[in-house]
Amino acid sequence: MIKKGCALLLLFALVAFSFNPAASAEKTLTLGVYQEPENLNTYIGVQTVITYVHKPFAEYLIDVNEKGEYFPVLAAEVPSVENGGVSKDGLTITYKLRKGVKWSDGAPFTSADVKFTWEAIVNPKNLVKSKSGYDLIQAVETPDEHTAVVKYKEFYAPFLTRFAPVLPQHILGKLDNMNDAPYNRMPVGTGPFMVSEWASGNYIAMVKNPHYRDASKVKIDKLFFKFIPSREVGIAQLQAGDIDGVWDLIEAQIPMMENNPALALDLSTSLTSERLILNHSIPTPPNNGNPDFPHPILGDLKVRQALDCAIDRKAIVDKLLFGKAQAGASEIAHGWAANRDLKPVAYDPEKAKKLLDDAGWKPGADGIRQKDGKRLRLKITTTTGNKLREMVQQVLVDQMKKVGVEFYIENVPSSVLFGSWANDADRKKGRYDIMMYTTGPGIDPHQQFEGYFHSKNIPTEANGGSGYNYTRHRDAELDKWIDAGGKSISMADRANAYRMAQKRIYEIVPHIYLYQRLTVHGFRSHVKGYISNGNGIIDAVETWNIADWDIQK
């Protein structure tokens, strides 16, 4: 019995350790993702990973390239006032569609698909996550197969970002609703690849789309999105050569990959920035979150400015982000609406001390400042389980101590931090001092500015807790520039309005920008052709130009 057991074990070991089967001639690319997508329908699913996985098959009317410029995909050109695509009042948008495009099942792509996309989104039976923009559309007219005319009831500034992606009418149009449609797991698209298999908990497989307009150009034969439990495991598998690329690493993982010649790193500066969000209203009940009752410490602009210049951003970027990130200065880091005159606030502990002195906070016996017997003690909260944020927090605690401010850390799971008004979340109800997390504008910044910075978007009982103005600041000048940005049809006027809004934010310090987030992707060196893109219509994802990727061993 014992011998038999040993023999079996030995056999098992022998077989297990024997060599890899020879590689096949097909070009197979395996990308690791640490989340399994809920589905592949971005109108229903909320995760960024969906965007990453859907890019190979789903296409938009208009997309955005690595320079932050719009370019036509399923549309033949980007509509503008100049080329007649946008009417003078901005309410009618005419899309000329690309000709000869086919869905991966061979059916032709037409203007009916564009019209259907709008209908599907506003269909009350569909559990669509957001209808914004689409609910302002009055009608989509289809004068011919290659023209779609979208008529808005009122001007919608980010109109170029709609219809991303276009849904296949011939597949989904027959259904009562698309909530459980087979399309959500086995979609039909117009992109270079098509989904061939989804093995739950394991991988999504794609093959070349034979009906793609440039099918001969596509070099990869098979594409796998493999689900891995975490980024750490992803790096382990990448180093072991089990996968060819990992999606969405974090900045702290850069150095361990940099030293390995078999790996290549792909870094790009995203539009999102890590920031501190400072509560202007009193955090304690019963008036928590009411902007009429200012925060006993942070309600004072001088204190907010002092915190801003007590932060050594360079040390954080150099040491914790290996010098790869950009220190944060304003809401929009790059692109057409960025305000390049604004520079990151300089590290100046002496100035911070003076500002605090002026504000009446004097050093106490233990070095922490006091005013009227109250300590300058602030809670800093972020999401649990994010190591880089935890590291930055601990460095901030140390930097604040040097100017006599006491930060203490209390972190909560992201679902608690980002909970709803109904769930009594601290963020929505204003029961916090300082929050640290990442957010940022999309390629069109309007929703971000209006949501986070307009005084009408302070969450209250009256508005059901909607809105993202968590700092609860009210500033008439800022409101004015945000409104201007949403109303003008001229892109130049809009850009100016957002620049002024950024300047105003810089002055009143509701948010303290720490650094621009990097998107970090790791590849095995034989993967070629990817181009970093920090911009995206839905999310900035690496797979935006996957048709051009190749494997060269």
Partner 1 sequence: MAGGRFHEKHKNQLWYLTLRQFLRHRMAVFGMLMMTAIVFAVVFVDQISPYDPETPDLSNMLAPPSLVHPLGTDELGRDMLTRSLYGGRVSLIVGVFAMLVAVTLGTLVGAVAGYFGGVVDNLLMRFTDFALAFPRIFVLILFAIIFMRPPFSDNPLIVLVFDALYKMPVARVVFVIGILGWMDVARLVRGSFLEIRNLEYVESARVLGAGTPRIMIRHILPNALGPIIVAASLGVADAIISESGLSFLGLGIQPPTATWGNMLKNALDQIFAAPWTAIVPGFMIFLTVLSINYIGDGLRDAFDPRKIK
Partner 2 sequence: MGRRPSAHGLRMKYTFILRRLLSVVPVLLIITFATFALMQLLPGGPLAAYENNPEISQKDIERLRHEMGLDQPIHMQYWAWLKNFAQGDWGYSFTTKRPVLVEIWDRLPNTLYLTGISLIVALIIAIPAGILSATRQYSLFDHITTTLAYVGRSMPVFYSGLLLIIIFSIWLRWLPSGGMHTLGKEFSLIDSLRHLFLPVLSLSTLIAAKYVRFLRTSMLEVIHLDYIRTAAAKGLSERVIIYKHAFRNAAIPLVTVVAIDLPVLFAGALFTETIYSWPGMGRLFVDAATRFDYSVVMGIVAAIAFLVVVSNLLADIVYAILDPRITYS
Positions 102 through 131 that interact with partner 2 (CB under 8 A): 127, 129-131
Among partner 2, partner 1, none, partner that 390 touches (CB below 5 to 8 angstroms by kind): partner 1
Among 68, 296, 363, 419, binds partner 2 (CB under 8 A): 419
The entry of partner 1, partner 2, none that residue 216 binds, CB within 5 to 8 Å by partner kind: none
Nearest to 521 by CA among 553, 500, 498, 544: 544
Kindly tell me which of 100 and 229 has the beta carbon lying closer to partner 2. Answer: 229
In the list 421, 484, 550, 551, the residue contacting partner 2 (rule: CB under 8 A) is 421
Contact call for residues 371 and 404 (beta carbons, < 8 A): no
- Residue 36 binding partner per list partner 2, partner 1, none, with a CB distance cut-off of 5 to 8 Å that depends on partner kind: partner 2
The contact set with partner 1 (CB under 8 A) reads 230-232, 235, 239, 250, 252-253, 255-256, 259, 315, 319-320, 384-385, 387, 390-391, 393-395, 397-398, 409-413, 416, 423-424, 426
Nearest to 503 by CA among 470, 487, 480, 486: 480
Contacts 24+ apart (CB under 8 A), 46-52: 46/129, 48/248, 48/539, 48/541, 49/247, 49/248, 51/536, 51/538, 51/539, 51/541, 52/225, 52/247, 52/248, 52/539, 52/541, 52/542, 52/543
Q: Which two tokens stand for residue 543?
A: 């797979």
Opening angle at CA 303, ends 436 and 277, nearest 5 = 20
What six digits make up the tokens of 502?
């950024």
Which range of residues in 22-30, 186-194, 320-328, 364-372 is near partner 2 by CB under 8 A? 22-30
Q: Is 1 in the site for partner 2 (CB under 8 A)?
A: yes
Q: Do 480 and 501 form a contact (C-beta atoms < 8 A)?
A: no
Nearer to partner 2 among residue 236 and residue 368 (C-beta):
236
Q: Which does 253 bind (CB under 5 to 8 A by kind): partner 1, partner 2, none?
A: partner 1
256 binds, options partner 1, partner 2, none, Cβ within 5 to 8 A by partner type: partner 1
Tell me whether residue 341 or residue 424 sits nearer to partner 1 (CB atom).
Answer: 424
Report how far apart, in Å, the C-alpha atoms of 84 and of each of 78, 90, 92, 493 are.
10, 11, 10, 19
Q: Compute the distance between CA of residue 91 and CA of residue 445 in angstroms, rounded to an integer.
A: 19
Give min distance, CB of 409 to partner 1, in A: 6
Give CA separation, 448 vs 58, 116, 280, 294, 469, in Å. Answer: 25, 28, 19, 24, 10
Amino acid at 91: L
- Closest distance between partner 1 and the C-beta of residue 288, in Å? 12
C-beta of 551: minimal distance to partner 2 in Å?
Answer: 11
Nearer to partner 1, 135 or 232 (CB): 232
Q: Indicate which of partner 1, partner 2, none lies near residue 203 (CB less than 5 to 8 Å, by partner kind).
A: partner 2
Site residues for partner 2, 168-207, by CB under 8 A, read 179-180, 184-185, 199-203, 205
Distance, in Å, from the CA atom of 41 to the CA atom of 371, rounded to the nearest integer, reads 54
Strands (E), 147-262: 147-152, 193-199, 203-208, 222-227, 245-249
Residue 46 site contact among partner 1, partner 2, none (CB < 5 to 8 Å, cut-off depends on kind)? partner 2
Only one residue has tokens 């009906």, namely 211
Binder of partner 2 out of 106, 229, 261, 286 (CB under 8 A): 229
Taking the least distance from each CB to partner 1, the nearer of 281 and 411 is 411
Residue 147 interacts with partner 2 (CB under 8 A)? no
Of the two residues 20 and 259, which places its CB atom closer to partner 2 in the complex?
20
- The stretch near partner 2 (CB under 8 A) out of 34-42, 305-313, 342-350, 373-381 is 34-42
Q: Which of the choices partner 2, partner 1, none does residue 397 contact, using the CB cut-off of 5 to 8 A by kind?
A: partner 1
Report whether 476 contacts 460 (CB < 8 A).
Answer: no
d(CA 140, CA 150) in angstroms, rounded, equals 5
Q: Which is nearer to partner 2, 360 or 413 (CB)?
A: 413
φ/ψ of 145, rounded to 5, equals -60, -25
The CB-of-127 to partner 2 minimum distance in angstroms stands at 6
Residue 199 partner contact from partner 1, partner 2, none using kind-dependent CB cut-offs of 5 to 8 Å: partner 2
State in angstroms the smallest separation of the CB of 546 from partner 1. Answer: 26
CA distances from 17 to 11, 12, 156 (A): 10, 9, 61
Q: Count other Cβ atoms within 10 Å, centred on residue 553.
A: 7
Nearer to partner 1, 61 or 392 (CB): 392
| Count of residues of this chain found to bind partner 2 when the rule CB under 8 A is applied | 77
Q: Could you give the CA distance from residue 31 to residue 393 in angstroms, rounded to a whole number?
A: 32
Task: Check binding of 394 to partner 2 (CB under 8 A).
Answer: no
C-beta closer to partner 1: residue 320 or 508: 320
237 binds partner 2 (CB under 8 A): yes
Stretch that binds partner 2, among 69-77, 136-144, 355-363, 407-415 (CB under 8 A): 407-415
- Provide the β-strand partners of residue 274: 438, 515
Please report, in angstroms and rounded to a whole number, the separation of the first and last CA atoms in the chain.
Answer: 48
Among 70, 118, 432, 452, indicate the residue that binds partner 2 (CB under 8 A): 452
CA distances from 306 to 298, 381, 501 (A): 10, 19, 22
Q: Using CB under 8 A, which of 193, 224, 481, 506 touches partner 2?
A: 224
Least Å from the CB of residue 366 to partner 1 = 15
Place of tokens 């995760």: 47
Strands 222-227 and 28-33: parallel
